[in-house]
Amino acid sequence: MPPRSPVRTNIVIFTVLGFVVALLVHFVVLSTERYNWFDNSDSAASSVMLVFNSLIALL
């Protein structure tokens, strides 16, 4: 079996590492009080609706 290209190996490694870092960043953001949309707190929903309503008012 011929050896693999170093360029191909680096592309695979950096793609996997980029995906892992992206997941890590998303989980860190979800752990904050402000950006956790899974927790059904009224403050998060009201802030999203406030932004949405202000955008609608601009149109």
- Per-residue pLDDT of 18-51, as tens digits, reads 999 999 999 998 888 887 777 665 665 677 777 7
Average pLDDT over residues 4-13: 94
**φ, ψ dihedrals at 4, nearest 5°:** -80, 155
Question: What are the boundaries of each domain within the chain?
Answer: 6-57
C-alpha 35, offset from chain centre? 11
23, two tokens = 């997941």
Local confidence band at 13 (pLDDT 50, 70, 90 cut-offs): very high
